[in-house]
Amino acid sequence: MTQIAPSILSADFMNLQRDVQNLEAAGADLLHIDIMDGMFVPNMSFGAQVVSGIRPLTQLGLDVHLMVEQPERYIEQFITAGSDLIMIHAEATEHLYRGLQMIKDAGVKAGVVINPGTPVSYIESVLPLVDQVLVMTVNPGFGGQKFIPAMLTKVAELAAYREAHADADFTIEVDGGVNDQTIAACAKAGADVFVAGSYTFAGDLATRIETLKKAANEAR
Ligand code: DX5
Ligand code: ZN
């Protein structure tokens, strides 16, 4: 099933409540929330308080992407803040399995993320544990970057893995440079959840979300 997850990184932060509510009214399926620590990625965004602030404003699931060194230090905060799904980068921790277990033990969905330079084989042993795999289709840290087409082979590899393993039950998400031109190839490769920040906010929200959904569904 196609799910469009606008990234609030491209929202107007002085009008965040308005933008969150507009996204829900415009047909977004999830809200993608980018947490950047200025260490794992060369940029900072915001912390768990913003997730707590958004929680009562919307019924949408909160898809929280931690671009943070040693994310296990903050998992509890993001659980308490009301995240529905918490994703940690395979490259950011020595204890990936433990981090994912911490999230699952709290009854929250857990996801693993891989950077463009990280192969699928690196996360193979955690695939039976996760609810979502996020394939970065840009180098993380900034919105508005250009989609890297070579990442599609990883999406296809994950889709084939899921097909071949009865114990694999995860959605495949793509993040970075997803727009009306790039989404079809992602859907064809097997992605289910599509993060779109700059594209969604560069026009009428409902029209853009609808355009993305239609392109993804047609490509399947
Ligand atoms: C990048 C973030 C993305 C970002 C996507 O580090 O993880 O979620 O907001 O932005 P666009 O859709 O503009 O590439
Ligand atoms: Zn993201």
- Give 12's pLDDT tier (boundaries 50, 70, 90): very high
Name the residue among 21, 72, 76, 83 with its Cα closest to residue 50: 83
Q: What is the pLDDT of residue 193?
A: 99
Q: What is the pLDDT of residue 90?
A: 99
What mean pLDDT value characterizes the chain?
Answer: 98
How many helices, marked H, and strands, marked E, lie in the chain? Answer: 8, 8
Q: Going from the N-terminus, what domains does the chain have, and what CATH number goes with each?
A: 3-219 (3.20.20.70)
All residues at 6 or more sequence positions from 41 whose CB lies less than 8 Å from its CB, including other chains = 67, 140, 141
Q: What is the pLDDT of residue 74?
A: 98
- Give 34's pLDDT tier (boundaries 50, 70, 90): very high
**What is the SS3 assignment for 153?**
helix
Catalytic residues: 34, 175
For a ligand 1 pocket test, name from 4, 8, 9 the mutation site with the most ligand atoms within 8 angstroms of its C-beta. Answer: 9
Residue with the smallest CA separation from ligand 1 atom 10 is 143
Name the token pair of 68.
Answer: 């943070």
What value does the mean pLDDT take over residues 175-203?
98
- Give 29's pLDDT tier (boundaries 50, 70, 90): very high
What value does the mean pLDDT take over residues 149-163?
98
If you measure from the C-alpha of residue 162 to the centroid of ligand 2, how many angstroms do you get, rounded to a whole number?
Answer: 22
Backbone Cα Rg of the chain: 16
C-alpha separations of 90 from 181, 185, 203 in Å: 28, 25, 34
Q: What is the pLDDT of residue 86?
A: 99
If you measure from the C-alpha of residue 198 to the centroid of ligand 2, how many angstroms do you get, rounded to a whole number?
Answer: 12
What value does the mean pLDDT take over residues 27-48?
98
